[in-house]
């Protein structure tokens, strides 16, 4: 992938027109962007809600915040950035003196910045330290999990968070390899997975280590717990008629969003089926190919 292609992915938000249409930001509204990243969705909301709409943007990645603050400085005090995970929505809104909002948008998962520029071991395309922390203030790294978890614990992580069918065999290989030397880089881990999974079980469309890397990232950053937190707590901060929009990227997340929206008596589901990217967007932006947008409205 060329640097030009990377730049295109980095600055191209997923499902931008569909998200704006369903969130429906207005000039008198206050909106939460729970995953600021490089600010693509925040910028779109701020432009659509001009001249007075506000965005309270959450992110716990200091590098993303620094870049977005500079890129979006033209919006002045219409943008407020909170360095917290979106699961801490209550604490974050209290810090900035906001009680209720007119909409929430969450774009879950790994940002292009972290994947292409973070040097934290999120990708097996380069040989990087196995860190995988989105927030460097957190203590547990991917390398620590690989070093300290039992074989059964590793198998559970790979199976439940990555839906990896070869989870137990991969966990066994990890334990064998770590007895020889610490597993500290992304290339080491990718090579172990390649060896562990018989060739006939290698997927055709993705790298054989993709689901293991996904599972470790989810475990390091407690992503499913954080998602459950915002789905439970976010609703109480929505005004009646406000929209709750969630973009997810794999089946575990999408099932959780679908269930939580369906079961919450304070919400009316707007999207009976998830909104997916158009063929044109899927061609332009690789990240959009697995994106699923679900929307509910506060009753």
* Binding-site entries: 39-41, 59, 86, 107, 114
Radius of gyration of the chain (CA): 20
Which residue, 259, 172, 257, is CA-closest to 212?
Answer: 172
How far is Cα 154 from Cα 216, in angstroms, rounded to an integer?
9
- What are residue 58's DSSP bridge partners? 82
Q: What share of residues in the chain are helix, strand, coil (percent, to 5)? A: 50, 15, 35
d(CA 223, CA 225): 5
C-beta atoms surrounding 121 within 10 Å: 27
Residues 218 and 222: their CA atoms lie apart, in Å, by 6
Interacting residues of 139 by C-beta distance below 8 A, sequence separation 6+: none
Q: Per the annotation, where are the binding residues for S-adenosyl-L-methionine?
A: 39-41, 59, 86, 107, 114
Asked if 212 contacts 162 with a C-beta cutoff of 8 angstroms, the reply is: yes
């Amino acid at each position: 992938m060329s640097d030009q292609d990377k730049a295109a992915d980095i600055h191209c938000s997923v499902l931008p027109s569909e998200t704006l249409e369903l969130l429906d930001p207005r000039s008198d509204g206050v909106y939460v962007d729970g995953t600021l990243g490089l600010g693509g969705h925040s910028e779109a909301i701020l432009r659509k809600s001009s001249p007075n709409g506000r965005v309270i943007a959450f992110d716990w990645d200091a590098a993303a915040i620094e870049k977005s603050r500079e890129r979006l400085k033209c919006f002045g005090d219409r943008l407020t950035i909170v360095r917290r995970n979106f699961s801490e929505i209550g604490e974050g809104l209290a810090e900035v003196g906001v009680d209720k909002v007119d909409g929430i948008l969450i774009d879950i998962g790994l940002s292009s910045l972290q994947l292409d520029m973070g040097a934290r071991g999120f990708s097996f395309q380069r040989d990087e330290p196995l860190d995988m922390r989105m927030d460097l203030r957190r203590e547990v790294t991917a390398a620590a999990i690989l070093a300290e978890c039992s074989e059964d614990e590793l198998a559970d992580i790979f199976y439940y968070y990555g839906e990896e069918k070869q989870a137990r065999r991969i966990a066994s290989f990890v334990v064998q390899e770590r007895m020889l030397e610490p597993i500290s880089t992304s290339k080491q881990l990718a090579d172990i997975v390649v060896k562990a999974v018989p060739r006939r079980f290698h997927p055709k469309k993705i790298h054989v280590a993709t689901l293991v890397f996904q599972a470790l990232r989810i475990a390091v950053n407690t992503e499913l717990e954080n998602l459950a937190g915002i789905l439970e707590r976010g609703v109480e901060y929505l005004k009646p008629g406000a929209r709750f929009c969630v973009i997810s990227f794999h089946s575990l997340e999408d099932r959780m969003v679908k269930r939580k929206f369906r079961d919450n008596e304070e919400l009316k589901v707007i999207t009976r089926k998830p909104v997916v990217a158009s063929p044109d967007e899927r061609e332009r932006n690789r990240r959009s190919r697995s994106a699923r947008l679900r929307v509910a409205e506060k009753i």
